[in-house]
Amino acid sequence: MKKRSPIILLILLVSLAIVFFSSTVQAPVTLYPLTISVNGLGSTSPETGTYSLGGGGEITVTATPNSGWKFDHWILDSVNVGSENPYTVVMDTPHSLTAVFLAEFDLTVSVTGSGSTSPETGTHTYADGTEVAVTATPDSGWKLDHWLYDSANVGSTNPYEITMNKDHLLTAVFTEITTIEYDLVISVTGSGSTSPEVGTYTYGDGTNVAVTAKADSGWTFDHWMFDSANVGDMNPYTITMNKDHLLSAVFAEGTIEKNGNGLFSTKTHDVTVAENTFVIETCSNSSVSSFVFDPSLKRLRFNVEGSLGTIGSCDIVIPSELMSGDFSIYIDDKQLVKNVDYTETNNGTHYLFSITYEHSAHTIEVISTEAIPEFPAWVILPLAFSTIIIGIKYRKKIALWKS
């Protein structure tokens, strides 16, 4: 046998070694950096810092908030990736991971009186900046009166919203509903009806009551008297019950006309003197009442009333057989000026006076120099004759006494 050459053996050994080592040595691994940080007060595990990790590997990071703080979310490479905790990062590229912690504040909710809240009474913890809406629900017979927010009255808005930027106290203050009731007394003057009908009614405080007036045939609704004040002719008329009230519907007899000064009512008034009846007519946008003729004073007197701030007007037609001569007209004892405050015309049988005034309650007097006597002629002549006879006899007695 031939011996192998030492050189050939060496070559074989080197080749075997190369094959062996080339099969056992791995390729170099690529490392990527992971930077962990926090925003707010808290810590992470692994703790904050920069770590180099092999490509494709995974790392799990846990966030732990400090006392008074809460973990809110993660930011991975400037993107909010939620609040899963712990969070796993796949190291296939360089990454930055930030644990965001928010401060926590306590909201203590309570009630005074009888009622409930949502969230319910107690202490609730919220992250900084959280908007919290608290709703109050009163028990039966109670109402929410106001909120006390950090001891300050902030009104009764319900629900009430709070921004949690520190610890806060919120109290819902409930008060018992106390029913206050008032009486409304409805009446009429003249001939007509109301709805609700005439009578006394009881209503709760703040109730709005609408009352409608309806005139009977031959009558017209003229105005309302509300607590003794003329409040005009709006129909229906609405009252807010804040105390006891009186409401009267005033109806006027006769026809109604309307012009720029409002509704005018024409009324007739019978005057009987010395067994004769005379008719005096008024046409006015005022309420006319208390109509009286005094023949001994040659005076016609009556009252007018209307809404404050408006202009009153009254036409008076008087038979010349009843009153004649020179006339004087007074309002509330103040003499009016002819052709300034009133006008006078005569058609031979009647006098017409047109008077204007500012509305309120007034007394009008018409006084003449001539008026029909209080007694008829057949009564006056015998009385005059008797007076003459008595005078003659009295003179004769005086003459005999002197002689």
Q: What is the pLDDT of residues 29-83, one digit of tens each?
A: 788 999 999 999 999 999 999 998 877 789 999 999 998 898 999 999 999 999 9
Domain for residue 400, yes or no?
no
Look at residue 168 and give its three-state secondary structure: strand
CATH of the domain at 263: 2.60.40
Q: Within this chain, do residues 282 and 342 fall inside the same structural domain, yes or no?
A: yes
236-261: pLDDT as tens digits? 999 999 999 999 999 988 765 555 55
Does residue 402 lie within any of the structural domains? no
Tokens of 313: 């007007």
320 assigned to some structural domain: yes
Identify the top-confidence range among 35-44, 279-288, 376-385: 35-44
If asked whether residues 245 and 318 sit together in one domain, one would say no
Q: Are residues 155 and 200 in the same domain?
A: no
Evaluate whether residue 388 is within a structural domain: no
Residues 54, 137, single domain; the answer is: no
Q: Is the pLDDT of residue 384 over 50?
A: no
Compute the C-alpha angle 207/213/214, nearest 5°: 150
What is the pLDDT averaged over residues 366-377? 78
Q: Kindly state whether residue 393 falls inside one of the protein's structural domains.
A: no
* pLDDT above 70: residue 130: yes
Number of domains making up the chain: 4
Between strands 208-215 and 192-195, the pairing is antiparallel
- Cα dihedral 77, 81, 82, 88, rounded to 10, equals -90
Enter the DSSP assignment of 114.
S
Domain identity same for 347 and 305 = yes
* 368 and 315 belong to one structural domain: yes
How many CB atoms are located within 10 Å of the residue 180 CB?
12
Report the pLDDT value the prediction gives residue 331, as an integer from 0 to 100.
96
Domain boundary among 150, 176, 202: 176
Rg for the chain, CA atoms, rounded: 53
Residue 232 lies in a domain: yes
Of 253, 279, 305, which marks where a domain is finished?
Answer: 253
For residue 142, give the amino acid letter.
W
pLDDT of residue 23: 46
- State the average pLDDT over residues 162-173: 95
| Residue 17: pLDDT over 70 | no
The sign of the dihedral angle between the CA atoms of 321, 325, 326, 332 is negative
How many Cα neighbours within 13 Å face the side chain of 280? 27
- Single residue among 142, 176, 210 that ends a domain in this structure: 176
Please spell the DSSP secondary structure of 80-123, one letter per residue: E----SSEEEEESS-EEEEEEEEEEEEEEEEEESSEEEESPSEE
Average pLDDT over residues 151-170: 95
Select the highest-mean-pLDDT range: 255-264, 273-282, 337-346: 337-346
Give the separation between CA 142 and CA 177, rounded to whole angstroms.
5
Question: Are 206 and 238 in a shared domain?
Answer: yes
Q: Identify the pLDDT of residue 391.
A: 52
86 vs 181, which has greater pLDDT?
Answer: 86
Range(s) of the domain holding residue 241? 181-253
Asked whether the predicted pLDDT for residue 161 surpasses 70, the reply is yes
Q: Indicate if 292 and 263 belong to the same structural domain.
A: yes
Read off the pLDDT band of 328 (50, 70, 90): very high
* CA–CA separation, 123 and 168 (whole Å): 10
Average pLDDT rounded to a whole number, residues 137-166: 94
Confidence of residue 265 (pLDDT cuts 50, 70, 90): confident
The yes-or-no verdict on residue 392 having pLDDT over 70 is no
Domain match, 169 and 219 both: no
Mean pLDDT computed over 95-122? 95
Any domain includes 210? yes
Whether residue 350 sits in one domain with residue 291: yes
Within a domain: residue 131?
yes
Q: From CA 263, how far away is CA 255, in angstroms rounded?
A: 10
Q: Are 127 and 70 in contact (CB under 8 A)?
A: yes
Give the pLDDT confidence score for residue 1 in this predicted structure: 47
User: Is the pLDDT at 380 greater than 50, yes or no?
Assistant: no
**Does residue 42 sit in the same domain as residue 75?**
yes
Are residues 40 and 143 both part of a single domain?
no
